[in-house]
Amino acid sequence: MEAFLSFFENLENWQKLAWIFGVLSLTSLIEVFDPLINFDYKKWKHAGVNIFFLVCTIIINALFSAAVVGVCIWTGENSFGLLNMMSLPMWASLLLGVMALDFIAQYVAHVTLHKVGFMWRFHMIHHSDTHVDATTGTRHHPGDYVFREIFALVAILITGMPIAFYLFYRILTIPFTYFTHANIGMAEWLDKALSVIFVTPNMHKFHHHFERPWTDTNYGNIFSLWDRIFGTMVYDDPKKVVYGLDILDDSKDENLGYQLGVPFNKDVKTDYMFFKPRGNKD
């Protein structure tokens, strides 16, 4: 197990980038041969917009890396955190660490991004994509991703996990991120069976519906358990989903200037945190 974790701890930056773009390329290729929806769009232009946000994400992740390493070293040296208070086999500690990150840094962070007004304004960019495909998994406003990194630091502090656990989780989350957003026509029986434990493509599509209540469901990243436990899971025919967001201009979903400015755009009216009905699309 130590050798296994050491592998992730010693990955070079180019290997991490190769993994990101390799998984993204594979899921994008599958979309071509087995699409859920036959989009009429310029796939490369659409991908270019979302990859711009991916580059921003990679930069932010690099900037936070020093803080992550620092917190991991401090918790280890001071035996701080839940994992340092328990005597568990390494595999069990790793599993708990992964689940803690998935719950705090993904599920809780994601719900918070939806429920806190000023945070939602940054997160709207992820939902503004009207052609959800694998590249949509990379579509996060820089402000949105900063919030997520802060939640990750909190998860590390609470658990006291070593850096290897965190790096393993980061590598593991990449195929889930791209696969669950991918425009893939997955067999319903298989998707539904997998969704008992994991987040699946059909399951996650409801989260990208243009209006509530579906927008406020299926927040999970790897495990569907959190949505099941907290009553935020739905499952239906994914072809009923209409992508985009009812309070934004769909025609500008590939306009980078507009998307980056949405959080500060006073013309964008949102009462999300007050749980009031929003206007419907025409």
Alpha helices, DSSP H, located in 128-238: 142-159, 163-181, 188-194, 201-205, 225-229
Residue 70: the pLDDT is: 95
**Strand partners for 243:** 209
Residue 271: the pLDDT is: 62
Identify the segments of the chain with pLDDT beneath 70. Answer: 271-282
Asked if residue 154 belongs to a domain, the reply is yes
Residue 277: the pLDDT is: 35
- Rounded-to-integer distance, Cα 72 and Cα 199, Å: 28
Asked if residue 201 belongs to a domain, the reply is no
Prediction pTM value: 0.91
Residue 272: the pLDDT is: 52
Asked if residue 36 belongs to a domain, the reply is yes
Distances from the Cα of 214 to the Cαs of 132, 150, 243, 273, in angstroms?
A: 15, 26, 11, 15
3-state secondary structure (DSSP) of residue 236: coil
How far, rounded to the nearest angstrom, does the alpha carbon of residue 274 sit from its chain's CA centroid?
24
- Rounded-to-integer distance, Cα 205 and Cα 132, Å: 8
Domain count along the chain: 1
Written as six digits, the tokens of 79 are 């035996």
Residue 275: the pLDDT is: 38
Asked if residue 133 belongs to a domain, the reply is yes
DSSP 184: B
Domain range for 31 is: 2-186+254-263
| Sequence-separated (6 or more) residues with CB below 8 Å from residue 170 | 16
Asked if residue 30 belongs to a domain, the reply is yes
Whether residue 243 contacts residue 209, with contact meaning beta carbons closer than 8 Å, is answered with yes
